[in-house]
């Protein structure tokens, strides 16, 4: 009897669900893995803790009929490493295949509000100089030095005035803090510049359908998704994996692909037997996991000048930069979206009285647009990803404590049975939806060609016998000894 079955009652054994590959999580990576395996005839079951697919991709229809992308929002660059060339972002390819309409956005399409009255192009030049300066400074330095340290060093060497510093630090927050979901002093400079991937072209947005149109498209080709399945324990050997859920369900599979967010692994709410190796636990602890929330404000009509896509309010405090997205620019809806990023904004800002938070944001807008009258919004919506028990945050970033190898360690299988996918396991596309997509394709490739996974219905008697060099040597020795004996 297998080790997993010792001491188990007959009723338990009869209630076990089996599959060739068990996938934990019905987000982008889990759905893509199931879809690709189905194409090869591999039986999968997806267990999802929520009552929906999508994971951290969640499009919500508001009371006034607007579509809010509360999680992932952009395709970050439609081209890959060859701008306008042969290689494109795989997320963009999938969007084109699904024929989902999108609209391009431009990061430089920005309105800079009070109190800055300088030239934004000058600030952009400082930003590029800073990146080049930091890259040179980090070539021979420790990886545990933050981006904030080098920003202070650059400002000192550049001898920027107070107003110029406010503009520079605010632009850093706009371009880095709100991308990474973390303050500059939490991000490791050396690994950030070494591991961050580049994507080019417009950053497209799902202006009509919401991002979930893409995960819904993937889910159409998945046969077996089971919702409200909260994983409590995973037991693995070198032969199989067993998964138990909070409601008492038991699943056994040859392989398990774990795609839960890094925040769930950090919370240690899943018990592993045996415990995960220390190198895996250390990687989970060291990789950064950021906070990124949105506040949606809806009006009956746009009161602002909607020629710019982004609104940014400069601040003397880099942790108090006001960053807005003008949804009216992409979907002709009178909606502004306010972003909060990094632990400096958590948890107190989002646990304030809801009405006070909205009124504070209205005052911020009034300061940025003194020539307009900012009326109260007719509808609001606030996300709470950092309190969500199935994510505990938004997405990963390169922390000051992180080693160069940690993303690789996080993606490494355990005993060739327990596999890991998701944006945090992507070495150079962490934090991005296309990183989650690519991680799924990586693990499916591993299953099909590294572990030679075959569809059950296609396995013949001859295929079920593993012929190894050692087996061949044994057969030859047996024939030789038999001949010698007789």
* Closest CA relative to residue 415, chosen from 256, 259, 251: 256
* Closest CA relative to residue 362, chosen from 346, 373, 347, 353: 373
Q: How far apart are CA 441 and CA 20, in angstroms?
A: 17
Structural domain including 358 reads: 59-74+81-86+97-205+290-387
| Residues in binding site for FAD | 29, 48-49
Same domain, 171 and 319: yes
Q: How far apart are CA 25 and CA 191, in angstroms?
A: 28
The CATH number assigned to the domain holding 255 equals 3.50.50.60
| pLDDT for the residue numbered 6 | 57
The CATH number assigned to the domain holding 324 equals 3.90.660.10
User: pLDDT tens digit string along 230-283?
Assistant: 999 999 999 999 999 999 999 999 999 999 999 999 999 999 999 999 999 999
| pLDDT for the residue numbered 461 | 33
Same domain, 187 and 302: yes
* Within a domain: 268: yes
Q: Distance between terminal CA atoms of the chain?
A: 39
Q: How far apart are CA 64 and CA 322, in angstroms?
A: 25
* Closest CA relative to residue 399, chosen from 262, 288, 285, 261: 288
User: pLDDT tens digit string along 145-200?
Assistant: 999 999 999 999 999 998 888 889 988 988 899 899 999 999 999 999 988 777 77
Structure-token pair, residue 67: 């579509």
* Within a domain: 459: no
* Within a domain: 127: yes
Same domain, 430 and 369: no
SS3 state of residue 27: strand
Does the pLDDT of residue 7 top 60, yes or no? no
* Within a domain: 47: yes
Please tell me the least confidently modeled range out of 269-273, 287-291, 329-333, 475-479: 475-479
How many structural domains does the chain have? 2
What percent of the chain clears pLDDT 70, i.e. is strictly above it?
85
Same domain, 197 and 344: yes
Does the pLDDT of residue 286 top 70, yes or no? yes
* Within a domain: 119: yes
Please tell me the least confidently modeled range out of 14-23, 128-137, 200-209, 340-349: 340-349
Same domain, 253 and 334: no
Detail the DSSP E strand segments found in 14-56: 16-24, 44-47
pLDDT class of 82 with cuts at 50, 70, 90: low
**Sign of dihedral through CA atoms 154, 158, 161, 165?**
negative
Distances (CA, A) of 439 to 23, 40, 41, 428: 13, 18, 20, 11
* Closest CA relative to residue 358, chosen from 341, 374, 371: 374
pLDDT class of 297 with cuts at 50, 70, 90: very high
Largest CA distance in the chain: 106
Name the DSSP letter for residue 377: P
Same domain, 139 and 114: yes
User: pLDDT tens digit string along 422-442?
Assistant: 999 998 899 999 999 999 999
Does the pLDDT of residue 86 top 70, yes or no? no
Contact between residue 377 and residue 297 where contact means Cβ atoms under 8 Å apart: yes
* Within a domain: 40: yes
Contact between residue 183 and residue 343 where contact means Cβ atoms under 8 Å apart: yes
Neighbours of 401 (CB within 10 A): 15
Contact between residue 188 and residue 401 where contact means Cβ atoms under 8 Å apart: yes
* Within a domain: 428: yes
Give the domain-ending residue among 334, 365, 387: 387
* Mean pLDDT of the 334-345 span: 88
Does the pLDDT of residue 9 top 90, yes or no? no
* Closest CA relative to residue 424, chosen from 290, 267, 278: 290
Does the pLDDT of residue 137 top 80, yes or no? yes
Same domain, 187 and 306: yes
Same domain, 179 and 322: yes
| pLDDT for the residue numbered 316 | 67
* Within a domain: 476: no
| pLDDT for the residue numbered 247 | 94
| Residues in binding site | 29, 48-49, 339
pLDDT class of 123 with cuts at 50, 70, 90: confident
* Closest CA relative to residue 308, chosen from 324, 326, 296, 335: 326
Q: How far apart are CA 206 and CA 271, in angstroms?
A: 38
Same domain, 107 and 182: yes
Name the DSSP letter for residue 429: S
Q: Which of 167-171, 213-217, 468-472, 478-482 has the highest mean pLDDT?
A: 213-217
Contact between residue 391 and residue 264 where contact means Cβ atoms under 8 Å apart: yes
| Residues in binding site for substrate | 339
Same domain, 276 and 345: no
Neighbours of 201 (CB within 10 A): 17
Give the domain-ending residue among 332, 364, 387: 387
Q: Which of 80-94, 450-464, 467-481 has the highest mean pLDDT?
A: 80-94
Q: Angle, to 10 degrees, between the axis of helix 28-39 and the axis of helix 433-445?
A: 30
Q: How far apart are CA 412 and CA 472, in angstroms?
A: 31
Same domain, 377 and 425: no
Same domain, 185 and 294: yes
* Mean pLDDT of the 395-409 span: 95
Output the pTM of the full model. 0.88
- Bond prior to 368 in cis (omega within 30° of 0): no
Does the pLDDT of residue 72 top 80, yes or no? yes
């Amino acid at each position: 009897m297998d080790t997993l079955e010792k001491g188990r009652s007959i009723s338990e054994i009869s209630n076990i669900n089996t599959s060739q590959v068990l996938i934990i999580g019905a987000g982008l990576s889990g759905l893509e893995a199931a879809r690709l395996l189905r194409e090869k005839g591999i039986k999968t079951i997806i267990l999802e803790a929520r009552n929906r697919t999508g994971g951290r991709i969640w499009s919500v229809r508001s009371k006034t009929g607007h579509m809010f992308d509360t999680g992932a929002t952009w395709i970050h660059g439609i081209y890959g490493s060859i701008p306008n060339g042969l290689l494109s972002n795989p997320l963009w390819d999938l969007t084109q295949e699904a024929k989902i309409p999108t609209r391009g956005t431009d990061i430089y399409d920005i309105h800079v509000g009070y109190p800055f009255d300088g030239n934004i192009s000058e600030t952009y030049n400082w930003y590029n100089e800073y990146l080049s300066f930091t890259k040179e400074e980090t070539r021979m330095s420790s990886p545990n030095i933050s981006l904030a340290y080098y920003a202070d060093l650059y400002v000192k060497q550049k001898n920027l005035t107070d107003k110029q510093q406010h503009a520079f630090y605010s632009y850093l927050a706009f371009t880095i803090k709100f991308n990474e979901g973390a303050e500059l002093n939490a991000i490791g400079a050396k690994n950030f510049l070494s591991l961050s991937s580049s994507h080019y072209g417009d950053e497209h947005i799902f202006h009509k359908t919401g991002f979930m149109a893409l995960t819904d498209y993937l889910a159409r080709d998945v046969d077996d998704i089971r919702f409200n399945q909260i994983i409590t324990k995973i037991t693995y050997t070198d032969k199989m994996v067993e998964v138990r859920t909070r409601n008492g369900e038991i699943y056994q599979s040859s392989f398990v692909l774990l795609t839960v967010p890094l925040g769930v692994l950090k919370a240690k709410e899943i018990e592993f037997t045996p415990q995960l190796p220390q190198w895996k636990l250390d990687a989970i602890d060291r990789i950064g996991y950021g906070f990124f929330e949105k506040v949606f404000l809806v009006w009956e009509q746009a009161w602002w000048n909607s020629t710019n896509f982004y609104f940014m309010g400069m601040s003397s405090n880099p942790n108090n930069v006001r960053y807005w997205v003008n949804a009216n620019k992409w979907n002709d809806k009178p909606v502004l979206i306010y972003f909060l990023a990094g632990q400096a904004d958590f948890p107190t800002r989002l646990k304030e009285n809801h009405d006070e938070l909205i009124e504070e944001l209205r005052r911020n807008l009034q300061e940025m647009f003194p020539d307009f009258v900012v009326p109260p919004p007719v509808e609001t919506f606030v996300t709470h990803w950092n309190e969500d028990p199935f994510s505990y945050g938004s997405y990963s970033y390169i922390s000051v404590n992180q080693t160069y190898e940690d993303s690789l360690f996080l993606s490494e299988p355990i005993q060739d049975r327990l596999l890991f996918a998701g944006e945090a396991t992507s070495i150079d596309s962490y934090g991005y939806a296309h990183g989650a997509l690519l991680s799924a394709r990586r693990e499916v490739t591993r299953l099909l060609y590294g572990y030679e996974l075959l569809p059950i219905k296609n396995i013949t008697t001859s295929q079920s016998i593993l012929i190894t060099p050692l087996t061949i040597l044994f057969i030859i020795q047996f024939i030789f000894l038999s001949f010698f004996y007789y």
